[in-house]
Structure 1
Amino acid sequence: MLRTVNRVLLALLGLGLFALGGGVLLGALDLQRHWDFGMPGWWPFRGPDDVVLGAWGRTRWRDEGWWWPTVIAALAVLLALLLWWLLAQRRHRLDNVLVDSEDGVPTRLNGRTLEKVIEEEAEALEGVSRAHVRLTGRRTAPAARVRLLLEPHADPTGTLGRLTGETLAHARDSAGLDRLPAKVRLREARHRAARTA
């Protein structure tokens, strides 16, 4: 769905910019006179000396009471739409993963369940205080984003090796995936010093 919305919005934006740029180019190169064709009466670019927005166009509604509230409201709506579009680009959590059940019919595995299993197995590793896993990507080719909170005494290299060689390998094999790429972020847990009396 998001991919379709992105393509439609980018196509409309591209067509609009292409039409506007072509119109400005027609006027700037004076192609209407050279090729002997006319433009509609409302078209602002008639020759190389025309500007995109003349003085009359810039000041026409300045004294009207509705002008500035309308401009501000339109810009606020545009900003809200652009922020929504930007936030929609974030990779969302996979609802389910398609698993090959070897009978010709793919089976759906709940993505949250697989995340939970990976988290629990990662938290069982020595030196891991807490784990958070999020599955992204496509249902047929998921990827994992793993965040580990390590105890101060943990060995980051050994923990990372066991996570990739055991925990993620178990998840990949149990889901019947060919590969399960992962981005792992390690952070050290900070403990407050205890005050003794």
Structure 2
Amino acid sequence: MNKKVAISTLIATAMFAFPASPSSAAVSCVSQYGGSYGASEVCVKTGELQVNKEVFDPQNKKFVDNLGPTSYKFAAGEEVTFRIRVKNAGDETLTKVQVSDIMPGFLEPASGATTFEIAELKVGQTEEREIKARVVSIDKLPKDKMVICDVNKAEAVSGDRKDSDTAQVCVEKKEAAQLPKAGAEHTIVTLLSSGVLGYVGLKFARAKSRLG
């Protein structure tokens, strides 16, 4: 009996001596395609400060975590909308949360601040922002690829607390359909000729009816 009590006491002492850390983070991993090293798995820790980055899918009309090469692909000059959510999942208020958005080379800011500060983030509170970007012109895209995929990264820092998340987007090089110059000139000449011939034919028909 005394041995059982002693063992129970030791277990209880160990539990109090090494309590589970409230800031211990869970790890979340997701596979992504593209970037500098091709297909890869991106893992992020979720602790007291949590960042969630999403991209708007124009095809399905909703925000999603990633848009891979088999999903909707943006074209040169098209607008891309991102959403950043920063949550305080801890047990104390966070102050001066610095948030930054890092865009890949084929995107440029269109509207919304890419860096901002959240003065105060209370326990359980979530701050949400939208950032719009635009795909660069087609001449600025890599010449050796038809589809380019990369990630947009959001980071949040408050003191020693830090978290980040990414949203993948893909761009497809699409040439705008244009009528060849020679074809356009031929079309204009044809239309003008048709108009002139029609006018002459109408005049001839009227003159003939008067003579008759």
Range of TM-score over shorter length: under 0.3
TM-score relative to the length of structure 1: 0.24
Higher normalized strand content (fraction of residues) = 2
Q: Which has the higher helix share?
A: 1
Give the structure with higher Rg (CA).
Answer: 2
**TM-score, with normalisation over the residues of structure 2?**
0.23
Bigger relative CO (Cα 8 Å, ≥ 6 apart): 2
